[in-house]
Structure 1
Amino acid sequence: MYKIDLKKIYKCIIIGSGPAGYSASIYAARSDLNPIILSGKLPGGQLTTTNRVDNYLGFPNGIDGVELMDNCKKQITRFDVKILNESVTSVLFSEKKGGIHKIFFGKKNKNVLKSQGVIIATGSTPNFLGIKNEKKLLGSGVSLCATCDGFFYKNKNVAIVGGGDTALEEANYLAKICNNVYILVRKNYFKGSKILQHRIYKKKNINVLFQSTIVEIMGKNFLEGIKFFNNQDKKYETKMINGLFIAIGFYPNTKIFKNQIDLTEKGFIVVEKGKTLTSNPGIFAAGDVQDPDYRQAITSAGSGCMAALDLEKYLYSL
């Protein structure tokens, strides 16, 4: 592990090591900012839980998520990016331009890094149903993103869990390529917007199952079907499907930044439109942590690039 100087004031500290963090580190390193990455609890981010990435530019045959992140890690080490396999425990951000920001890590906030610039790329965490087989079959029939994985279920039968905008958007997308799409909604109504509901009801191959709760995900090594309880008819039902998409929301990993920078009501970091600048000078945000809409690996990587360029411009202005 890279040996750090706790007395030194650095130019660029990156919190998080997914596509946004790795991309930011490359651009920062090429600008001689000597970035340090604190990799967090899940080095490589959510992509390390994805068996197949088929929509990332530059891989005509697709690539395994773990392999993609390993490639990114190898690439940043070529630019001498320093990686600390540590999780940030708390932060103390300055509110003044040119101020020094403190990033604490280790047991009982024992260690602290000081930096003029910080890029936050801590990503988000999806909500799960909390039932057996859910995580075991992730990437083997169970998915958290229709845009990412829908292609693998072309002309097949799939189900989506959720009743909000994300679930309805994914159902509309899947209806274009799948034979049948079942939407399981725990309540007896959709939470999603009316316009999305209208689109749902116009699709002949979308079947809405209100007051339905999944109780079992069937399959040993790959998804075979689901068993759910229909509260309207007070009975258990089974659907044999090829894909199950869980769309019950996600939350940004911003707990440690509360009261340090501006966050939205849902916890996303507020950034200047078209930029990665946060409410505090010298603090920038990239990837899912500031993106409630797209949440794709390629958009995260792009915003990581933006954050590094924004940080470089900020440091030159001091």
Structure 2
Amino acid sequence: MSERYDIAIIGSGPAGLSAAINAKIRNKSIIVFGNEDFSNKLMRAPKVDNYLGFYGVTGKDLKDKFKEHISSMDINIIYEKINNVYALGEYFTLMVADKSYEAKKVILSTGIEFSKPLKGEEKFLGRGASYCATCDAPLYKNKTVAIVGYNEESQKEANFLSEIANKVYYIPMYKCKYDLLDTIEIVEDKPIEIVGNLKVEKLILKEREIEAEGIFILKDSVPPSELVPGLEMEEGHIKVNRDMLTNIPGCFAAGDCTGKPYQYMKAAGEGQIAALSAVSELDNK
């Protein structure tokens, strides 16, 4: 049996890190999932003037202060992408590609994905469309697949998948020097639509079409409604109450994923509330 944490925090932006430090101060065992830069949005900010006490700083400056703070509290970030969260009564199971974690409470601080879903993406989820290449790779042995990659990390999944699939097309949604195996065909084009009958049959791009039995859309995070089955959404955001509790008992949310304004101060405050609410439930029980 895997270790069961008091609180699992998904996301390492201001909301997630605020939740982490407040839970840690109250002596709860925590695990935080995120990325090395904490938040891509934070790293892209040229100047921050509305974070109390830190004005006229860059996003990177703020990120460095965050890192200094959590390091002083011995809080580490797990650089793994959570693909599914299942509520199992007394605890939650968090699924990664080839393993799982357990926690009594969960705080979702995944931010918000500003890119719109491809046409047909939601329709064909589970029928050839997927958000995790390493999870579903065995289903595509000796088959043709296409990967729409929104970040550099998706290249690792493409390389892994190329060892199983017969043919892999890689459509990058960013610019960089690609570290892909020679067997992978890079297609620099704009994906428009996923089409098929009962299952995925092809990916329509602006300049061409690719026939494929599997389409993988690899972003920084899985859409909340797909991440947590049964999670209630409202106008594209996770619906929460004033305690940052979602409609699923024990599952909280904080930050941009809960709605506007998309501000670091708001996110940090909500992260604190979510952590204190989760701690209160644990202590009362």
Q: TM-score range by the shorter chain?
A: 0.5 to 0.7
What is the identity, as a one-letter code, of the residue corresponding to 2:12? Answer: S
Is residue 288 from structure 1 mapped to residue 283 from structure 2 by the alignment?
Answer: no
Provide the rounded CA distance (Å) in 2 between the counterparts of 1:78 and 1:120.
23
- Paired letter, 2:255: G
2:66 corresponds to which residue?
72
Q: Deviations over 1:256-308 (max 9, x none)?
A: 335232222x3311111x220111121110001112x2111100000000011
- What is the CA deviation profile of residues 109-150 of structure 1, one whole-angstrom value per residue up to 9, with x for unaligned ones? 31111000111000012349xxxxxxxxxxxxxxxxxxxxxx
Equivalent residue for 2:271, pick from 301, 304, 310: 304
Name the residue aligned to 1:93: 87
Structural mapping, 1:1-318, within 5 Å: 7-40=2-35, 43-60=38-55, 62-94=56-88, 96=89, 99-105=90-96, 109-127=97-115, 253-264=223-234, 266-272=235-241, 274-291=242-259, 293-318=260-285
Quick one: structure 1 residues 253 and 100, their matched pair in 2 at CA, closer, same or farther if it must change by over 3 Å? same
After superposition, the C-alpha distances for 1:208-263 in whole angstroms (9 at most, x for unaligned) are xxxxxxxxxxxxxxxxxxxxxxxxxxxxxxxxxxxxxxxxxxx9942433523222
Which SS does the other structure have where 1:12 is aligned? strand
Contact 1:12 1:116 in 2 (8 A): yes
2:245 & 2:16 partners in 1: Cα distance?
A: 15
Q: Is the 8 A contact 2:225 2:233 kept in 1?
A: no
Between the aligned partners of 1:116 and 1:100, the Cα distance in structure 2 is: 4
TM-score, with length taken from structure 1 = 0.53
Match of 2:113, SS state, is: strand
Structure 2: which 5+ residue stretches go unaligned?
117-220
Q: Distance in 1 between matches of 2:266 and 2:42?
A: 13
Specify whether residues 76 and 41 from structure 1 end up closer, same or farther in structure 2 by C-alpha distance, changes over 3 A only. Answer: closer
Take 1:115 and 1:41, find their aligned partners in 2: how far apart are those partners?
A: 22
Contact 2:92 2:105 in 1 (8 A): yes
Q: Do the aligned partners of residues 54 and 78 (structure 1) sit closer, same or farther apart at CA in structure 2, a change above 3 Å counting?
A: same
Give distance in 2, aligned partners of 1:56 and 1:252.
28
Instruction: Calculate the TM-score normalised by the size of structure 2.
Output: 0.59
2:57 maps to amino acid: I
Larger radius of gyration: 1
Distance 1:122 1:277 in 2: 15
Give the match for residue 241 of structure 1.
none
Distance 1:305 1:36 in 2: 16
Question: Identity of counterpart residues, as a percentage?
Answer: 31
Deviation at 1:26, TM superposition (A): 0.6
**Alignment: residue pair count:** 181
SS for the counterpart of 2:94 is strand
Distance 1:74 1:260 in 2: 37
**CA contact under 8 A between 1:119 and 1:284: conserved in structure 2?**
yes
Gaps of 5+ in 1: 1-5, 129-250
Q: Verify the 8 A CA contact 1:252 1:268 in the aligned structure 2.
A: no
What RMSD over aligned residues (CA atoms) do the two structures have, in Å?
Answer: 2.2
- Structure 1 pair 42–77 and aligned structure 2 pair: CA distance change class (3 A): closer
CA drift of 1:17 comes to: 0.5
- Residue aligned with 2:252, SS: strand
Match for residue 223 of structure 1? none
Q: Secondary structure of 1:115's match?
A: strand
Measured in 2, the distance between the counterparts of 1:8 and 1:258 equals 21
